[in-house]
Chain A
Amino acid sequence: MTDDLDMPREAAPARAVSPLKAFFWLVRRELWEHPSAWIAPLAVAGFAVFTHFISAVTISAAERQAVLAATSSAKFMVPYSAAIGTIIILGLVVGALYSLDALQGERRDRSILFWKSLPVSDLLTVLSKAFIPIVVIPASILILAIAANLLMAPLQSLVWLAQGYDPAELWGRLDLPYLWGALAMGIPFIALWYAPFYAWFLLAAAWARRAPILWAMAPFVPILMVEHLVLHNTPSHWALERRLAGGILEPYTVPNTGEKVVWIDHAGQFDWGRVYSLPDLWVGVAMAALFLFIASRLRRSRPPL
């Protein structure tokens, strides 16, 4: 025998890859593929800081006097909580758009045949995709909101100084830690509350050949039609609206105030126990888990487009 092709070589024993390590890389891969998941919220945060700065500069003297005359800190906080609110809303939208594409894009460009050539399970893959809108984006919302506020305050102080006002008046009335505390306590709730939506979108994307958003909405059409014809009302429509708004309203408004929406205004009113024991929350989480499981089975068996 020549030196080549001697004994057939025994395959070297494989080093084990823990599921956690694989999961880490799966999530990183998602972020490589969808940088908009963090770029869009970053852009919105930057935009919020910028508009706040501009409005501080251009506010008229009369308006400024009116604001200073107010005693509650609420008026001062409005721009800060508005910035946070915008970042949250956009983060939720980005999460939705991501979920509608995540399991469809890889079939559309056939890259799924590459991903599936590696020893990673469909379930772990789907979980990594769910991780983005349910954990990564909410975490980035928290960080970006605080960062935005941290930029807004000094900028506003500078403007005040330039315009001859005393920044101490501002700082005396701002209660940013309250705002941030409420946000930090509520973000996990928001993430879990909207999880079934994201899981549903992921499922629709795993099923659909085209236009996942239509498939996501499709099942509701016959339901609404039947209700309209039979009940002359559309309770599921209202239920859906309640669910959509609930992520923000449940943690941050006072319950049982009827038609009027009353926002909580100091951290003491953030009711941990009530909010996190809402049955609707956990039913939603269970449904999300079910949708994700079905999505992973679909990813296993649906062919590339």
Chain B
Amino acid sequence: MVQEWNDSQPIYRQIRDRVVAMILDGVLQEGDALPSVRTVATESRVNPLTVLKAYQQLDDEQLVEKRRGRGMLVATGARKLLLSGEREKFLSEQWPDIQATIVRLGLADELLGLNGVKKPGGEG
């Protein structure tokens, strides 16, 4: 987790998003421990309380669980939960814009006719 932060979102939100990405990518499997607060804080030079806040957020979303003596672990079913949530989000928030761009650029045939992807106007 060593990268620059953007300034359009609170840091704790961005940390949360990074952990989510790690879970989705399979870097963190269910039952794996999250990187320690200390490690994340020092590597990204962020207040440990901010990292804690991000982890708390993940806990609230039921993506991670606290285990005494072992720290924060990725919860069972987290990936599934995330995938469905992320899918939902992508389809309702991002896909329409991307679709519109594809159409605008005249790439609809090239990109959307292939691989069985539905053309615009069809189901999401």
User: Does chain A touch chain B in the assembled complex, meaning CB atoms less than 8 Å apart?
Assistant: yes
B50-86 residues with Cβ-Cβ distance < 8 A to A are 52, 55, 66, 69-72
In the assembled complex, how far is the CB of residue B66 from the closest CB belonging to chain A, in whole angstroms? 6
In the bound complex, residues from chain B placing their C-beta under 8 Å from that of A3 are 36, 69-71
Question: In the complex, what distance in Å separates the CA atom of A99 from the CA atom of B69?
Answer: 60
Asked if B20 lies at the interface with its beta carbon under 8 angstroms from chain A, I say: no
Tally chain B residues at the interface, Cβ within 8 Å: 13
In the bound complex, residues from chain B placing their C-beta under 8 Å from that of A4 are 36-38, 48
In the bound complex, residues from chain B placing their C-beta under 8 Å from that of A1 are 52, 66
Residue of chain B at shortest CB distance from A4: B37
Question: In the complex, what distance in Å separates the CA atom of A114 from the CA atom of B54?
Answer: 39
> SS class of chain A's interface: helix, strand, loop or mixed?
loop
Q: Residues of A at under 8 Å CB distance from B? A: 1-5
Question: In the complex, what distance in Å separates the CA atom of A141 from the CA atom of B66?
Answer: 71
Q: Could you jot down 9 A-B contacts, CB within 8 Å?
A: A2-B34, A2-B55, A2-B66, A2-B71, A2-B72, A4-B36, A4-B48, A5-B37, A5-B49
In the bound complex, residues from chain A placing their C-beta under 8 Å from that of B52 are 1-2, 5
CB of B48 within 8 A of CB of A5, answer yes
Question: In the complex, what distance in Å separates the CA atom of A38 from the CA atom of B67?
Answer: 63
Closest 7 CB pairs of A and B: A4-B37, A2-B71, A3-B71, A2-B37, A2-B72, A4-B38, A5-B48
In the bound complex, residues from chain A placing their C-beta under 8 Å from that of B37 are 2, 4-5
Question: In the complex, what distance in Å separates the CA atom of A2 from the CA atom of B67?
Answer: 8
In the assembled complex, how far is the CB of residue A5 from the closest CB belonging to chain B, in whole angstroms? 6
In the assembled complex, how far is the CB of residue A6 from the closest CB belonging to chain B, in whole angstroms? 11
Interface string of B31-54 (1 = CB under 8 A from A): 000101110000000001100100
In the bound complex, residues from chain A placing their C-beta under 8 Å from that of B66 are 1-2
In the assembled complex, how far is the CB of residue B111 from the closest CB belonging to chain A, in whole angstroms? 43
In the bound complex, residues from chain A placing their C-beta under 8 Å from that of B49 are 5
Question: In the complex, what distance in Å separates the CA atom of A4 from the CA atom of B72?
Answer: 11
Taking A2-B52, A2-B71, A3-B69 as known contacts, 19 extra A-B pairs with beta carbons closer than 8 A to each other, sorted by chain A number, are A1-B52, A1-B66, A2-B34, A2-B36, A2-B37, A2-B55, A2-B66, A2-B72, A3-B36, A3-B70, A3-B71, A4-B36, A4-B37, A4-B38, A4-B48, A5-B37, A5-B48, A5-B49, A5-B52
Question: In the complex, what distance in Å separates the CA atom of A168 from the CA atom of B71?
Answer: 88
Question: In the complex, what distance in Å separates the CA atom of A1 from the CA atom of B48?
Answer: 12
Question: Which of B37, B55, B70 counts the most A-chain CB atoms under 10 A from its CB?
Answer: B37
Interface string of B96-109 (1 = CB under 8 A from A): 00000000000000
In the bound complex, residues from chain A placing their C-beta under 8 Å from that of B72 are 2
In the bound complex, residues from chain A placing their C-beta under 8 Å from that of B71 are 2-3
Question: In the complex, what distance in Å separates the CA atom of A4 from the CA atom of B34?
Answer: 12
In the bound complex, residues from chain B placing their C-beta under 8 Å from that of A2 are 34, 36-37, 52, 55, 66, 71-72
Question: In the complex, what distance in Å separates the CA atom of A105 from the CA atom of B70?
Answer: 54
In the bound complex, residues from chain A placing their C-beta under 8 Å from that of B36 are 2-4
Residue of chain B at shortest CB distance from A1: B66
In the bound complex, residues from chain A placing their C-beta under 8 Å from that of B48 are 4-5
Question: Which of A2, A4, A5 counts the most B-chain CB atoms under 10 A from its CB?
Answer: A2
Question: In the complex, what distance in Å separates the CA atom of A1 from the CA atom of B64?
Answer: 11
Question: In the complex, what distance in Å separates the CA atom of A1 from the CA atom of B49?
Answer: 11
